[in-house]
Amino acid sequence: MKKRATHDENPEWTAADFKRAVPFSGLPESLQTKLRGRPKAEVTKVPVKLRLDPDVLQVLRATGDGWQTRVNRILRERFAL
């Protein structure tokens, strides 16, 4: 078996480290929830497949990251939702 290099920032655990360790399931539920992924939004989006003309899609994507969110806002404003 190949021995892994240790680093100052990530030293190998000692027997004392293992004794002090707390299993994830032993943490308070509120902390477990915080540590598990992205928080759930109150209102979630619905994925759809939408066919657009290539030139329209090119212009939308050219506006940069978040273009889908901007399209959502434009549609909301257009239909007064």
Q: How does pLDDT run across 32-64, given as a tens digit for each residue?
A: 666 667 777 888 889 999 999 999 999 999 999
Q: Is residue 5 part of a domain?
A: no
Q: Is residue 10 part of a domain?
A: no
Q: Is residue 41 part of a domain?
A: yes
How many independent structural domains does the chain possess?
1
pLDDT class for 8, splitting at 50, 70, 90? confident
Q: Are 70 and 64 in contact (CB under 8 A)?
A: no
Cα 17 to Cα 2, 9, 21, 54: the distances in Å are: 23, 15, 6, 58
* H or E element at residue 20: helix 15-20
**Is the pLDDT at 11 greater than 90, yes or no?**
no
Q: Are 63 and 70 in contact (CB under 8 A)?
A: yes
pTM: 0.49
pLDDT class for 6, splitting at 50, 70, 90? low
**Is the pLDDT at 65 greater than 90, yes or no?**
yes
Q: Is residue 3 part of a domain?
A: no
Q: Is residue 2 part of a domain?
A: no
46 is in which domain, residue-wise? Answer: 15-78
